[in-house]
Amino acid sequence: MTTLEITQQYFDAWNGRDAAAVLATFGPGGTYSDPSTGGRLRGDALAGYMNGLWGAFPDLSFEIVSAGEAGPGLVAAQCFMRGTNLGSMMGLPPTGKTVAVAGADFIRVANGKIETVDGYFDTRGVPEQLGLQVVVQPKQIGPFTFGTATRVWGGKNTKPGAYSVTALQARSAEDVAGVSEQSRQIATEMLAMNGFLGFVGVTVGERMLTISAWENPRDPQQLLRGGQHASAMKQFFGPELGGGGVTSVWVPDHVGIRWTRCGACAKMLDHERAGGTCSCGSRLPDPMAYW
């Protein structure tokens, strides 16, 4: 079998979404790498990587645009990857969007088997096509640690009467993903709860914080009556989730004025006191939500 035929067999196995068939094209110790693998993968690790991709993109396929020998035992293949995101990826819910990304694979073959596959593609292409933000920032500079945040708004502009605060310490990246998924499910349930106003979740390294706004201090008690929050608490007090944490309910001492700038004259006004109308006669924009 020629190196080009072995390469075609390799891509056919990928398109058949058959991890065993892909691994069968590799020789002993054969490895695969691309910008998302974090290093070279082989055997079970490579199978796990492939199954994760197929779980996120069940219809994943590769179109070979061109393939040719770049040297003895080395094939250079230009390909086009397509797939629809119907499963979780990086702990995120599926977007239902389709991606199409060009890439190149350099495949080295010896004794009828693949020794190495080095894949290259635009790492921004996939998340951008899925509608995901690509944030490039340092993990830490001096006393400052950087992270990401999520906001869920219940649609009300009611002044908060209480805030429920949860701080968790994760043990690993897997823990962070697990807590993030639980938080998304809990926030979805909270949207249907009486008195819920809004939710903000912040992840900085392995420290995770959620702050939820409610109409009155009794409203957060709904979280204790079952549902996803109760399931998360069971995991927390069991061996599955988190390294430690603290929860609390805060009652605000003072909630300030909601200032709104007039779009016509640029004057900043107390929206409630102005009755929604600027002194210049223009209608003021809706004030920002409290949370």
As for how many domains the chain has, the answer is 3
In a domain, 135, yes or no: no
In a domain, 139, yes or no: no
Same domain, 163 and 227: yes
Residue 57: count other Cβ atoms within 10 Å of its Cβ. Answer: 22
Same domain, 18 and 63: yes
Same domain, 8 and 79: yes
Same domain, 149 and 219: yes
196 strand-pairing partners: 214
In a domain, 136, yes or no: no
Distance CA 96, CA 176 (A): 24
Same domain, 165 and 88: no
Structural domain of 291: 257-291
Same domain, 83 and 201: no
Return the CATH number at 52: 3.10.450.50
In a domain, 138, yes or no: no
Q: What is the pLDDT along the chain (291 residues), one digit of tens a residue?
A: 899 999 999 999 999 999 999 999 999 999 999 998 989 999 999 999 999 999 999 999 999 999 999 999 999 999 999 999 999 877 678 899 999 999 999 999 999 999 999 999 988 888 889 888 777 788 889 988 899 899 999 999 899 999 999 999 998 888 888 888 888 889 999 999 999 999 999 999 889 999 999 999 999 999 988 888 888 888 889 888 888 999 999 999 999 999 999 999 999 999 999 999 999 999 999 999 998
- Predicted structure pTM score: 0.66
29 conformational bin, left if phi > 0, alpha if psi -120 to 50, beta if neither: left
